[in-house]
Structure 1
Amino acid sequence: MASAVELAAMRQAITLSSFGLGTTSPNPPVGCIILDRHGDVVGAGYHRRKGEAHAEVNALSTAGAAARGGTAVVTLEPCNHIGVTPACRQELINAGITRVVISVLDPTSRGDGGAAMLTAHGIEVETNVLPDETLTVLGPWLAATRRRRPYLIWTYAYDNQDSQPVNEQLTAELRCRTDLVLSDKTIEEGVPGGHAPEHFTLPDDLSTDLRPWLSACYATGSRTILAVGADHSGTLHDNSDCVDEILIAVKRTPPTGSLAAATADLTPAGFELAEILPGSTDVRVRLRRPKPSP
């Protein structure tokens, strides 16, 4: 069972993993913490983009010799194959790590998986540590990987009189965690120039047929997409099962002038209210699909 120190380290690793959102695709956003044999944090790292060092390697580089005999706490199972970069499970073995704490197993693992290989080398492995918390960052990538189409977020402002400034602010806040931003007639990177160009390209313009377009986006490296505004509302409504999350900015109104907000269609069929985030000028309403029953 993970110790209190390891649980705290996992939450630090989850936070670190979020630094890679918007640039790691098609790779996952992963964070890693290295604890020495006394339980002190001696290394930390995250994965920034494909082709660069993975989270474990960055954390081991920070830790140096202090990693020997220590514990690696990582949000996703260390990879078990040699691709653009070396296999992370081998890097952990070479560094003398004696225990690995993993939050979520990697569905793309090849062979027996990194966890099994670590165990085979005598390293103690614990899995399924704080997975729900890890999925706050890793969830969209996992969903996209399992169904082979990107996680799609739709955002718009509910206020016909003054929606543009609110929507621009909301888009600016959201785009840094997505691979693509789809607006009226433009498709661009969420983080301009953030991805490795040899592993990521922009797709063609969206046609009326959303499903093949999403598959094409996945094939060119995208795992998350932000659709902005009402320009594509017809296509998105007709293919609402392809939309994973909706974020609506509702402008604040006086206590006696809230009829428009109260009668707005804020809960399309198939979605449930997930979160409400009050701001100074508006309220953000986040909708998502219900989690499947266990």
Structure 2
Amino acid sequence: MASASELAAMRYAITLSSFGLGTTSPNPPVGCVILDRHGAVVGAGYHRRKGEAHAEVNALRAAGSAARGGTAVVTLEPCNHIGVTPACRQELIDAGIARVVISIIDPTSRGDGGAAVLSAHGVDVETNVIPDETLIVLGPWLVATGRRRPYLTWAYASGGRDSVAADERLTNDLRMTVDLVVGGRPIEEGTPGGHASAHFTIPTDPPSDLRDWLSSCYAAGSRSILLIGDQHSDALRDSLDCVDEIVISLDATSPPAALAAAWCLTPPGFELADIAPGGSGVRVRLRRPILSLPPRCGIS
């Protein structure tokens, strides 16, 4: 059972992993914290983009020799294959890590997975540590990986006098956590220049057939997309099952009818995830629940 220091380290690692949102795709955003033999934090790191060091390697570099005999706390199971970078499970073994605490098992890991290899080398491994909290960051990537289609967030302003300005605020506030932004302008990276160009391509065609377009975006490296504006409501009406999250900016001056109209666009199966102040009103976030994690599928 994870100790108090390990639980605290996992929450630290989850927070670190969020710094990779919008740039790691097609890889997952992962965070890692290294504890020494006494449970003190001696290293931490996160994955920034595909082709660069993974979270475990960055954390081990920060820890140096203090990692030997210590514990690695990581949000996603260490990878088990040599791809663009070395296998993280081997890096942990070579560093002399004695225990690895994992939140979520990686569905894309090759073979039996990194956890099994670590255990076979005498490393104490614990899995399934506060996965619900890890899903705050890793959830969209897991959903996209499980169905081979990016996680789609639709954000729009309802009511108010200047919906264009409200949509721009939504874009500015939400874009850094997604791979692509689709609004009233050419399709853009959420973080301009944030992805590794060798592994990520910005689509040029507008989403005429949403399902086919999403599949092509996934193949091009995208795992999360932000669709901005209520002008997409007609196009989405027959494809709302493709939408995973809805963010609605509600103006405080809007009449009740405008607020009711916003809720009518919300399809069944969504849960209220958050309500927070935003602009001159409130911002409501609705999300489909992640009912289960995808099984291993043997992809990289």
Q: How is 1:156-235 mapped onto 2 (pairs within 5 angstroms)?
A: 156-159=156-159, 161-235=161-235
Q: 1:259 aligns with which of 256, 262, 268?
A: 256
- Cα deviation for residue 208 of structure 1 reads 2.1
Equivalent pairs counted in the alignment come to 291
Q: 1:269 aligns with which of 260, 267, 270?
A: 267
Are the aligned partners of 1:184 and 1:232 in contact in 2 as well (CA < 8 Å)? no
- Cα deviation for residue 222 of structure 1 reads 0.0
The one-letter code sitting in structure 2 at the alignment partner of 1:96 is: G
The one-letter code sitting in structure 1 at the alignment partner of 2:217 is: C
| Residues 293 and 134 of structure 1: CA distance in aligned 2, closer, same or farther (over 3 Å) | closer
Could you list the per-position Cα deviations for residues 118-167 of structure 1 after superposition, in whole angstroms to 9, with x for gaps in the alignment? 00000000000010000000000000000000000000001252112222
Give me the whole-angstrom Cα distance separating, in 2, the residues matched to 1:207 and 1:102: 37
Q: Which secondary structure does the structure 2 equivalent of 1:266 belong to?
A: helix
Choose between structure 1 and 2 for higher RCO, CA contacts under 8 A separated by at least 6 residues.
2
Give me the whole-angstrom Cα distance separating, in 1, the residues matched to 2:154 and 2:258: 19
The one-letter code sitting in structure 2 at the alignment partner of 1:44 is: A
Q: Displaced runs of 4+ in structure 1, greater than 6 A?
A: none
Q: Which secondary structure does the structure 2 equivalent of 1:157 belong to?
A: strand
Give me the whole-angstrom Cα distance separating, in 2, the residues matched to 1:293 and 1:56: 26
The worse-fitting range, judged by mean Cα deviation, of 61-70 and 230-239 is 230-239
TM-score normalized by the length of structure 2: 0.93
TM-score normalized by the length of structure 1: 0.95
Structure 2 stretches of 5 or more lacking a match? 294-300
- Cα deviation for residue 291 of structure 1 reads 4.7
Could you list the per-position Cα deviations for residues 228-287 of structure 1 after superposition, in whole angstroms to 9, with x for gaps in the alignment? 11232221122000000000000112xxx7423443232522233222112351200111
Are the aligned partners of 1:71 and 1:99 in contact in 2 as well (CA < 8 Å)? yes
Structure 1 stretches of 5 or more lacking a match? none
The one-letter code sitting in structure 1 at the alignment partner of 2:119 is: T
1:136 aligned partner = 136
RMSD (Å) for aligned C-alpha atoms: 1.5
| Residues 290 and 35 of structure 1: CA distance in aligned 2, closer, same or farther (over 3 Å) | closer
